[in-house]
Structure 1
Amino acid sequence: MEKHNAASDLRLTVRELSNVYEELSLLYKLSGLFSTLNVNEICENLVNEAINTVGVKTAAVLFLNEETQALYTKAHRGDWDEDRIVDGGIEVIADVLENSKPIAFCKLENVEHQDSLHGLQSVLLCPLAGKGKTLGLMILADKSSENEFYSNDVKLLKVITTQAAMAIENAFLYQEIEDLLLGTIKSFVKALETTTQWTAGHTERVTMYAQGIAAEMGLDEKKMERLRICSLLHDIGKIAVPRDILNKKGQLDSEEWKEIKKHPALGVTILSGLKSFDDILDGIKYHHEYWDGTKGLFGLRGEDIPLMARILAVADAFDAMTSDRPYRSRKKIGETLNEIVGLADRQFDPTVVEAFQKWINRQHPAFLL
């Protein structure tokens, strides 16, 4: 009898230790999966990890809109349809959100208001509980091997969602701080532009052209967003250029041009040390380089020039040429476009020029009148 009890105790201890080991291994793995500050990536990783760890066919992450209290799908895999969720109105989901505790069901026909989850089997709902508030919830359904969820499934999902919620909150906080920082810097740029009629609106237009080029070239959402920020800040270094040079009504002499040409490097100096902008510094620094390497400030050529900088070079030149300056009138858009096309493979990356030409031609007649 004692031997039987000892064996039983040993099996229980081994099982408990195995569960602890599995949980610790999962925590270690999650530390890498959720290290990004991109909310979309965190949610995609959360869905994939939940499917692999718990063993389900369907998973979705839903966020809660604080103002409307409506739920919306942020990421999903499997047989999922957002219309199955009636804006957080079904009783079971409301219960999860209110009490911030997971709930599992094996037979949905026993769940009141189950129409919103029609077609899903063996459902497990787990809140995304942040610090002091619930961010949303995760729904797992259709277990791959069995028809019901066990306590260890719930425990593992709680581990995953807890880590994910912390990462999501950190990402939100990071985004708020970055937006505040970017807004502050943009206000300085705006103040700089308002000191002279010649550069008013330049930053916004360059950003629009650069985004058009990037879209035409098929850059992904993340790269387009970083390019947008780079475009908004590409002339930040002009804050350190003497105002009398920026506002001079006549042609600049050689010494004044030397001062103007310092602005890319000055921009890097201003933004260096701000981790949020590390990946855009080269775009700012090299946006006046020539494709063929014959001119420019740093002697780079061809694809040694970062893509951000190559895109900005075209966008910046186009806006400068189609804007009035104290020493010349603006050029017509069609004339400017022809000139830029003629400079492809010399001053500008021909691939970027081709993308810009296609994009701007589609804007007709808004741009080509």
Structure 2
Amino acid sequence: MHAHAHTSPPLHLQPSQDREIQFDIPIRQLELRKGERTLDMLDTVEDTKGNNGERGDLIITNLRLIWWSHRSRRTNLSVGYNAIISINIRQATSRLRGPTQALYVLTKYNGSRFEFIFTNLVRNSPRLFTTIQAVFRAYDTTRLYRDLKLRGAIIQDNELKLLPREQIYSKLQGVWNLSSDQGNLGTFIATNIRLVWYANLAQNFNVSMPYIQIRSILVRDSKFGPALVIDTTARSGGYILGFRVDPMEKLEELFKEVSSLWTVYSSNPIFGMDYVLEGQPQTLKDVTVKREQDDVEVVDQDLESGRDVFAAYYADSSKSTDRQPVYSEELGLAVEELREDLTIDALWNVLS
């Protein structure tokens, strides 16, 4: 039984900052991961939806938006671009600026919709709008660097359409994809960013596997004999893909090569965003204060505090009709029936 496993830096165990939304996390968890870069930093931005009236820093990276309050950096947000549904500019009411144009960011995460409203407190500055919209477009058009793709338009005239900064390290003919009962014969390509296989007779039958989405690389027995087995992360679909290469020496050589490329990528991931602003933005390290300042403000929090933060950004846009009115003893009047996970107190705390 062949079972050679490759152990690389556990990329799949690192937080996927571009796919998550986090509220009020420890400041150390806001540190940039490998491959993440600060693209811009705006130091006078209000989180108008959840912290109206508070100034804060907005850090724009190639994976997410990070906002924290000047008053207490324990009050913060991390919004991954993959969770964003839409970005719009609309009128909002800021406690610091009054009625003004603001950036509305609608997101979806873990089945719930959240809305974030950011107001630039620097008057006559469109930088908040232009930068975030441009960076999100750049993220959206570079998904092949980060997402596993099946049957993509990635092959043209029997050649892989290379991504910017992508280099081919090997191209191997006569590789069987073992995903079907009979297997399919095709070509296997290893680059510095991903592994690609496509069928010889149907080039649109293909798979593109970024190293960022690979959990493990193995050589083990299959019903077709020894095979290169690639296990992908749950967030990419949890695929287990097998490839047969003859003779065994060539299979071992391919295994060593892709394992090495995966290790190199793990030490310095390439996420595909080369968006550059005029001037050099500050890094997160530059705008991080010493840890003792985190303890300046002591806030008494009860068990419902986490739910209040959650409720502050909840966008109940999925309902198509109003709920039935019910009598609220707390308010002494009829109100629209609340969702099971909300209370009058929680909503009052959001508005107060």
Q: TM-score, normalised by structure 1?
A: 0.25
Q: Identify the structure with the greater helix proportion.
A: 1
Pick 1 or 2: higher relative contact order, CA cutoff 8 A, min separation 6.
2
Bigger radius of gyration among the two:
1
